[in-house]
Structures are given as C-alpha cells and as structure tokens.
Amino acid sequence: MPVSAACDWPQQLGARLSTELLEAHRGLGSVLRRSPLRHRQDTGRTPASPRRPARRFCVVNTRFPLSSPVMRKRNNSLTPELDGGSLLDRDPDLKQRPGGRAEGPAAGDHRGPAEERTMGKPFRRLGLLGKVKRFMLWLLVVYVSVPFLVKLCPSIQAKLVFLNFVRMPYFIDLKRPLDQGLNHTHNFYLEAEVGLRIGVWHTVPAHMWREAQEKDGDWYDSMLSSTHPVILYLHGNAGTRGGDHRVQLYKVLSSSGYHVVTFDYRGERLRLTSQTVLSLTCLLRLGLLGKVKRFMLWLLVVYVSVPFLVKLCPSIQAKLVFLNFVRMPYFIDLKRPLDQGLNHTHNFYLEAEVGLRIGVWHTVPAHMWREAQEKDGDWYDSMLSSTHPVILYLHGNAGTRGGDHRVQLYKVLSSSGYHVVTFDYRGWGDSDGSPSEGGMTSDALFMYDRLKQRLNKTPLYIWGHSLGTGVATNLVRRLCDRGSPPDALILESPFTNIREEARSHPFSMVYRFLPGFDWFFLDAITANNIRFASDENVNHISCRLLILHAEDDTVVPFHLGQKLYNMAAQSKSLSGHKVRFVSFPSSLSYRHKFIYRSPELPNILSDFLGTVSQ
C-alpha cells in the first residue's frame, strides 16, 4: 500500500462518518420542528467574522444532556469544545422556525450560577427567629386591621357591647330553673311585641318553696298580691337569666323575703329563608358523602386505637380515674377562699410527709363570721375546742377544694353549725406530689390524726363524696383496725368498688359491650393498684353510717349506692350501729353533686348525728 494512501485513510473514514451523521440528523429534522426541543441560533458572530474549518469528527453524546461538562456556553448557544458551531447550527433542516422560541435542554435551558448553586439543596425549615418574625408580622397586621374593620362594620362593636351570643353556663335548659337549684321558680314566656317573645323567671320568697311545688303560672301570679315586695332584676351583658352568679343572687333575695322577677332581653336570632337553606344545602352537598366517609374512617381508627393505647400505657387509665389535672373552676386563687364567698375560712398548708405539702381550708360555723375576720391560724385552731362538731370533708376526683358545688356544701354545713375542714390530696390543686390510692388515704389519715389531737370530746365526722367515698372507707377501716373509729361516716354518691364504677361510668358506654372490655380497661386500673373497695371495707367498719344518693345520678349510678347500703346492712361489724340510706327523687334534679341544694339536708344530718349547738 502506498504511503500517501496509508496516511489518507483516517481522513476518508472521518468524512464518511460525518456524511452518515448528517443524513441521520436530516431524517430527524421534521420531528424536531414539531417538538419543543429546538435549538437557539448562534447570534454571537458577525457576518464578517471568519469561520474556522469544521472538524471531520463530531462526538454525539446520547447519554448526557447537552449542558454536560463536554459542552460550553458561548453567546447563549451551545457549541462543542473548541468548535465554532454544532451540527444543529450548520444544518438548515434543524433550524428553529421563524418567530419560535427556543425551549428545553437543546435550546440552552441553562440556569445561572446562583441558581445552579441552590439546585439540589433540601428545603430548609423556617428557624425560630423566622417564625417569631412571621408571628409578629401577622400580629401587626391584625392589630392595624381591627380598628378599620370595626369602623367599616359597626355591628361588630355592638356585638362586643351586648355579648348576647355568649351563653354561659352552656347546655342549660332555661325552661327548667329547677336544674339550677331554684325549686320555687316558674318559667314562662311573654309577647313583648308582635312576634317577639321573651323568657321570664319568677322566684317566690324561699319560705314558700313547699307550696310552690308543681304550681302553675296562675298561682305564681296570685302570690304577687301578697305583702312581700317584688324586685325586677335586669341582668348585664353576656350569659342568660340562668347565669351562676345571678342564680345565687336570686337565692339570697328570695331568702330575704322578696319576689324576684327576671327575664332575658330580646336577642338576635338567626333567620334562614328558604333560599338561604337551599344555598346551604347545595354547598354542603358537594363532597358531603366523601367527608362523612373520611370522618367515619377516622372515628373508627380512634375507636379501635384507644383500647390498645390504654392497655399499653396503664398510666393513662390512672389519669382518667383521678382527673387531678382537671382544675375547675380555672384561675381561682386557693390562697384566698374569700374570693369564693367564704369570709370565715382560713387557708393554710401542712407537711403530710417530708417534702410533701398539702393545702387545707378550715371553715368555722357561720355565726362566727364576724369574729373570724382577720384572724390567724392559731385562732382557728382554738375554735376547734368549742362544742361545735367537726366534719372532715374528702372530695372526689377532678377539681380542687375550691370547686363550686363543694364551696356551696361548706356553706350549708357551716350554716348548720359545723366546722368544715377540707384539703386537696397530693397531686390536686396546690398540693405537692402525684396521686395514688395509698397516698390519698395517707393524706386523709394525717389530717384526721391532726384534728383528733386538737379536739377534746368534740365529735369528728368523716364525709366523702364520689371518689372520696373510697378514700373515706379506706380511712375508716384503718381507724377501726387500730381501735379508734370516728363518730360517724357519711358517704355522698358512693360506689361499691372502682371496677364496677368504671364499668357503669358514662365514659365507658361506647366500649362497655366491646369484647375484652375488662382486659383492656379494668385490668389497667388494677395494674395501677387502684381498688377503692368500699364493698370490702364496710365489713371492717364499726361506726354510724349515712349514705346519701340521688336517683338521677349518672356519674355514679344509684344502684351502686343502694348495693353498698345492702352490703353494709348485712355487715356484722356494723351490727348495733345506725346505718341509714337517704335517696333523693329524680324530680329534684340533684344528680351527682347537687345534694347540697336539698332544704332537708340540715334536718337529715341533725336527725342522724344529733342536735348541733348553734
């Protein structure tokens, strides 16, 4: 072979490959014209600029995009390294259409250096400072917007003045003033204007309460002609005529011999026309079935998950039994019983164990209220040596010693001539520690021993309510075992044991018929060493026993109190001691915690315990 031919074969091979590649690119020209993958023309050269001769070899990279490191950017066009133009630039069939816009990777869709640095970085969460700035910005926007909003919509300001949409307490039936403890009050309605009806309450003087039972409006109207003066009470904004503080005022005025007539002013009602109802229906119809399905699915997931969660974490069940984290009413200062209307009550703290402090209230008999003003703890302790008997009150779960119904009971007992000493168990209220059945019983025993040391021959009674009845029977059993029983035990709304109470509680209704209910829920209570076995304790108690229970009690069903009484009546340890069961009809609506409203309660106590010195 000649030397010249041997040297020319690489050039011939390169020319042949270039020809084949050009033909392949021309075949794809029509496809590229119809697709968004177009190439941008090289506008960087001037017509006079000389073109360098094209290389005979062209590398076509089909694996990496045209913006790969083998390509460089020159005047917004992509060219091969050290080349004056690409095959797409030189081939007329692959030029972009006139007026078209180059797009995509082949069109040089290349990001700037700043964008390239941020590409691929994960999304960074907003830091704490950023969140604070954003919150302050929104706060500023709201702060600036509110005055303009009120100015543009004066009705908003009217709403804030009247607050007629605030109905507290919630869920009360204004047609039944008996539910608020007003058993001598008549509810009726009057038409102040055409089509405008207002609700009215008429409370007769308290001494007429027996006559007022089941009387109609005509009887109440006839009582207005008596010699007792009438007070027309006009309440303030927010709430209704059934507000708690208003009801308490009606009772005070009624006890002072006044008729009290009060009413709710006209209020704004939501009036829906047929067109509005139709619009709302059409709005709700969209996706309603899907929303219901999703809600039911979530409800099913929660329903199935709760038993397993309680079983895996028995401490949850203990929290639900004690409910010591529920502090109602909120925002009260337990150091100031005067704020709850107890102006003859002393607050103090005792160390039940080393490093364990519990909060205590001591309320003296009501007739001592003048002497009690600005007195210290020593004076209150000295009053325990008087002839007035003392009641150690053990409250139930949830709330504190300053709970509304508990304060009302202190007032009733104080008015009847009793000292009332109550406290918050460890973990409740402002007492230290965490709750347990043994700890609650130890706290009660500590308080009893302290009182006993300060009493001469003054009777000391123990009163337990709800969960406190379990603490009371535990305490009395210990006292009887050591040979120093109390003078009497009073159980208000008691149960037999915590398992039966949990099975009958309204919260367990949705799971009561679930297979394995005992294993999931009741065994979790036992795992926390919580028993409160009053049915066993009554067989070891040897003192007078009084049980009070309302027939309409839904928290601790009436049949549990009756069952405990039947067990106590058959107990050998209680033979020879007075055992009495007092029930309150459902028509009185005393339910679980309103037995203090009974006008007969002082007489029941004096008949059972004996005459109290006044």
- Provide the terminal-to-terminal Cα distance of the chain, rounded to the nearest Å: 142
pLDDT in tens, 310-319: 888 888 899 9
- The segment with the largest mean pLDDT, out of 78-87, 158-167, 313-322, is 313-322
Q: Which of 39, 186, 346, 592 is catalytic?
A: 592
Say yes or no to pLDDT of 303 above 60: yes
Q: Is 68 a catalytic residue?
A: no
Q: What is the dihedral of CA 84, 85, 87, 90, to 10 degrees?
A: -100
Residues 16-40, mean pLDDT to the nearest whole number: 57
Q: What is the pLDDT at residue 595?
A: 96
Say yes or no to pLDDT of 586 above 50: yes
pLDDT in tens, 397-423: 999 999 999 999 999 999 999 999 999
User: What's the CA angle centered on 442, arms 453 and 523, to 5 degrees?
Assistant: 155
Q: What is the pLDDT at residue 331?
A: 85
SS3 502: helix
Poorest-pLDDT segment among 40-44, 136-140, 387-391: 40-44
pLDDT in tens, 244-297: 899 999 999 999 999 999 999 887 444 444 544 454 455 445 467 777 887 888
- Asked if residue 323 lies in contact with residue 507, where contact means CB atoms within 8 angstroms, the answer is no
Q: What is the pLDDT at residue 20?
A: 67
- Asked if residue 389 lies in contact with residue 458, where contact means CB atoms within 8 angstroms, the answer is yes
**506 — pLDDT class (breaks 50, 70, 90):** confident
The second-level CATH assignment, the architecture, of 337-609 is 3-Layer(aba) Sandwich (3.40)
- Asked if residue 565 lies in contact with residue 437, where contact means CB atoms within 8 angstroms, the answer is no
SS (H, E, C) 198-265: EEEEEECCHHHCCCCCCCCHHHHHHHCCCCCCEEEECCCCCCCCCCHHHHHHHHHHHHCCCEEEEECC
Alpha helical stretches, state H, 122-187: 128-152, 154-162
| β-pairing verdict for 390-394 and 419-423 | parallel
Q: What is the pLDDT at residue 26?
A: 65
Say yes or no to pLDDT of 583 above 60: yes
pLDDT in tens, 382-395: 999 888 999 999 99
Q: What is the pLDDT at residue 559?
A: 96
Comparing C-alpha atoms, which of 274, 264, 201, 199 is closest to residue 231? 201
Q: What is the pLDDT at residue 24?
A: 64
Residues sharing a CB contact under 8 Å with residue 437, sequence separation 6 or more, in sequence order:
470, 471, 474, 529, 530, 531, 532
Q: Is 466 a catalytic residue?
A: yes
Q: Which of 553, 571, 589, 598 is catalytic?
A: 553
Q: What is the pLDDT at residue 11?
A: 64
pLDDT in tens, 516-552: 899 989 998 998 999 999 999 999 999 999 999 999 9
State how far the Cα of 17 lies from the Cα of 77, in Å rounded to an integer.
25
Which residues is 490 bridged to in the sheet? 463, 546
For the range 24-33, what are the long-range contacts, defined as Cβ-Cβ under 8 Å and sequence gap of 24 or more? 25/87, 25/88, 25/91, 25/93, 25/94, 26/91, 26/93, 26/94, 28/94, 29/91, 29/93, 29/94, 32/94, 33/97
| β-pairing verdict for 579-584 and 544-550 | parallel
Task: Return the number of other C-beta atoms located less than 10 Å from residue 519's C-beta.
Answer: 12
* 3-state DSSP percent of the chain in helix, strand and coil, to 5: 45, 15, 40
**186 — pLDDT class (breaks 50, 70, 90):** very high
Q: Which of 466, 504, 571, 598 is catalytic?
A: 466
SS (H, E, C) 65-106: CCCCCCEEEECCEEEECCCCCCHHHHCHHHCCCCCCCCECHH
Q: What is the pLDDT at residue 450?
A: 95
Say yes or no to pLDDT of 207 above 70: yes
Token pair for residue 595? 């037995």
Percent of the chain scoring above 70 in pLDDT: 76
Look over the chain and give the mean of its residue pLDDT values, rounded to a whole number.
Answer: 81
For the range 567-576, what are the long-range contacts, defined as Cβ-Cβ under 8 Å and sequence gap of 24 or more? 567/496, 567/535, 567/538, 567/539, 568/538, 568/541, 571/538, 571/539, 571/541, 572/539, 573/480, 573/538, 573/539, 573/540, 573/541, 573/542, 574/538, 574/541, 574/542, 574/545
Say yes or no to pLDDT of 51 above 80: no
Q: Is 386 a catalytic residue?
A: no
pLDDT in tens, 465-483: 999 999 999 999 999 999 9
- DSSP letter at 271 equals -
